[in-house]
Amino acid sequence: MTIFTTGRRWPLALLSATAVAALLAACGGNDDSPVAEPVEQYVPPEPPSGYTPKSIAYANKDMVAAANPLAVQAGTAILAKGGSATDAAIAVQMVLNLVEPQSSGIGGGAFMLHFDKGSNRVLAYDGRETAPMAATPNLFIGADGNPLAFLTAVDGGLSVGTPGVLRMLEAAHKAHGKLPWKDLFEPAIKLSEDGFAISERMSVSIAGSAARIKAQGEPGASYFLRADGTAKPTGTLLKNPELAATLRAIANGGADAFYKGDIAADIVAKVTRHPTNPGKLALSDLSNYTSKVREPVCGVYRTKYRVCGMPAPSSGGIAVLQTLGMLESFDLAAMKPNTLDSVHVVSEAYRLAYADRALYVADPDFVSVPQAGLINADYLKGRARLIDMQRSIGTPVAGTPPGVVASRGADSSLNLPSTTHLSIVDASGNAVSMTTTIENGFGSLQMVRGFLLNNQLTDFSFTATDSAGKAIANSVQPGKRPRSSMAPTIIFNAATGDFEGAIGSPGGSAIIQYTAKSILGMTDWGLNVQQAINLPNFGAQTNATTSIEKGSVIDTAAIRDGLRARGHTVAQTDTFTSGLHGVIYNGVRANGSAGLLSRNPAAGTYAGGADPRREGIALGNN
């Protein structure tokens, strides 16, 4: 079995606005296959920062896998004090706000799956941002009547949605927390005051956005940049006393300290008084924001695994389950990973899932989403029959799942969230899988009281109708939540209900592909969690192009030529910057059976993996 274990390091590429535009053009559809509607393109929200091989981690009591060692240490410290998985997730998020500000923070939103072992129940916590009540479907239409360019819409106040992560975490803590809310902010407050060394990834990310950061002025310019306008280098000691004060206020006053009062007023002022690109956010949007608790979407894969994900307004859980459901019709184990056949068939399943995603998935509080129909087993078997092992579908067409009640227009949203993921299991066996985001790298570039504000509204379609005049499900509406690709996932034993693993990833619309390939690695291909995360990234969306990770074991002439012979347009990319973090049950249960995903039960009760394409780790207490 071939496993992606290269030890090389990639060049530190930077993405300017010009580079983004070039990538958009390069990722287009097959020139030989005209596309009736605009297709969604994949552009990485953050520049790549190399490839550093990681070792699988083991622990007996609990485990945290997340995107930065300082955040992971904060989470494991909370667990060591008797904290729950939710407690640890809060501590991890607050530290990530400080040390990975380009990806997530209290100015953004999140989706979280929580498994409560005592009740044997999974809940889906929705902390997605909402559109201001003053927003209109033409929010991103310029004076000339055309949609704004992406970065024109992003930089400034116009793209800022009502942040949701703090309300969501507070609701989850009230239901599942064990330690006092206040205690969970202490690690981030201390690091903010004492300072931390800027990581290589953070410095590279700053450099990639330096000109835009400078253009937005203070306070972000002097916080992230040197006097000459270049990025503060790796190793620079960075302190953030403003963030410390903000976090202390929230620790003492709860989420109300953020959504009401002086902090809320400063957020609204920053958004609405932007000199060139003001937004619509109002104090009432903040004070009235509520997180939601939803039922997860779940499906059984190959009779053994019950896979649960985030429901709409995320498309992530639905698309992952669609991909798995279609692939059940194929013997992936016999194909082996990293082969022409497996790359072909998995890419074809992605195409069909993304076509349905683009047409049907949006905020279910505003549009009818045929969620049950999209993951219906018979429907997915029918979709699988469209996959020909010898010929690519090319540009995919959405199906008609059970439950469709209205004709929809094709959505061309980019969906480029700058995001992070964390997976946690506590000593009681409760688990959290949480993906959290501020959308593009550094969000809207608007900094308030030590944290950045999101640009989540650009996850909506910039137009309300397609070229045929059909309404687009993911169009802007007041109070609506934009569609997401975030796919926090928890896997169970389908027969017993036992927890088997938690995994997810950042990476924009490619999150679906990253998460699915890791699940396939652990289930069909018998890999441990680290090996599954290491697998090369590849995939397709709503066009004929299949992208493969440049320099990986599948980036060979034989596979590229083989795909082309089957009708794929092949693109090599070194910007498949996944950030997978997973924890699986690796032990032997009381009945003597090992976990379904266990590969070395003697090593520890839990095993964790972290993506070599980012700087995270997995760590636990024994």
- Tokens, residue 472: 């687009």
| Pair 92, 222 in one domain | no
Residue 553 falls inside a structural domain: no
Residue 335 falls inside a structural domain: no
Quick check: pTM over 0.75?
yes
Per the structure, the count of domains in the chain is: 2
Please name every residue paired with 57 in a beta bridge, in sequence order, or none if there are none. Answer: 608
In the annotated binding site, the residues are 128, 459, 484-485, 508
Query: What is the mean pLDDT of the segment spanning 224-234?
Result: 97
| Pair 128, 219 in one domain | no
pLDDT at residue 407, as a whole number: 74
| Pair 64, 99 in one domain | yes
For residue range 43-85, what is the model confidence (pLDDT) as tens digits? 445 566 678 999 999 999 999 999 999 999 999 999 999 999 9
| Pair 75, 189 in one domain | yes
How many angstroms separate the CA atoms of 29 and 11, rounded? 27
Which residue matches tokens 């976090």?
A: 247
For residue range 233-243, what is the model confidence (pLDDT) as tens digits? 999 999 999 99
The pair phi, psi for residue 447, each rounded to 5°, is -105, 130
Selection from 524, 548, 527, 525 nearest residue 538 by Cα: 548
Residue 324 falls inside a structural domain: no
Residue 556 falls inside a structural domain: no
Please name every residue paired with 610 in a beta bridge, in sequence order, or none if there are none. Answer: 581
Q: Which of 238, 254, 270 is the last residue of a domain?
A: 238
Residue 363 falls inside a structural domain: no
Residue 554 CB partners (closer than 8 Å, separation 6+):
338, 343, 536, 538, 548
352, 383 Cβ separation under 8 angstroms: yes
For residue range 150-207, what is the model confidence (pLDDT) as tens digits? 889 999 999 999 999 999 999 999 999 999 999 999 999 999 999 999 999 999 999 9
For residue range 367-419, what is the model confidence (pLDDT) as tens digits? 999 999 999 999 999 999 999 999 999 999 999 999 998 778 877 665 554 68
Query: What is the mean pLDDT of the segment spanning 456-484?
Result: 93
The residue range of the domain holding 201 is 196-238
Residue 361 falls inside a structural domain: no
Q: Is residue 92 scored above 70 in pLDDT?
A: yes
| Pair 205, 283 in one domain | no
Residue 311 falls inside a structural domain: no
| Pair 229, 153 in one domain | no
| Pair 417, 455 in one domain | yes
CATH of the domain at 274: 3.60.20.40
| Pair 231, 140 in one domain | no
Active site residue 419: yes
| Pair 118, 265 in one domain | yes
For residue range 241-263, what is the model confidence (pLDDT) as tens digits? 999 999 999 999 999 999 999 99
% of the chain residues with pLDDT over 70: 91
The CA-atom distances, in angstroms, between 246 and each of 117, 243, 285, 443, 493 are: 34, 5, 20, 19, 42
Residue 570 falls inside a structural domain: no
| Pair 256, 234 in one domain | no
Which residue matches tokens 């760590």?
A: 619
% of the chain residues with pLDDT over 90: 87
Please name every residue paired with 499 in a beta bridge, in sequence order, or none if there are none. Answer: 492
Q: Is residue 30 scored above 90 in pLDDT?
A: no
In the annotated binding site for L-glutamate, the residues are 128, 459, 484-485, 508
The CA-atom distances, in angstroms, between 398 and each of 25, 356, 481, 515 are: 23, 5, 23, 22
106, 165 Cβ separation under 8 angstroms: yes
| Pair 249, 140 in one domain | yes
603, 568 Cβ separation under 8 angstroms: no
Q: At 7, which amino acid appears?
A: G
Long-range (24+ apart) CB contacts under 8 A made by 281-288 are: 281/132, 281/157, 281/160, 281/161, 281/162, 282/132, 282/133, 282/134, 284/133, 285/130, 285/132, 285/133, 285/162, 286/162, 286/163, 286/258, 286/259, 286/260, 287/259, 287/260
Catalytic residue, chosen from 76, 246, 395, 419, is 419
For residue range 41-50, what is the model confidence (pLDDT) as tens digits? 434 455 666 7
pLDDT at residue 528, as a whole number: 98
| Pair 289, 420 in one domain | yes
pLDDT at residue 418, as a whole number: 62
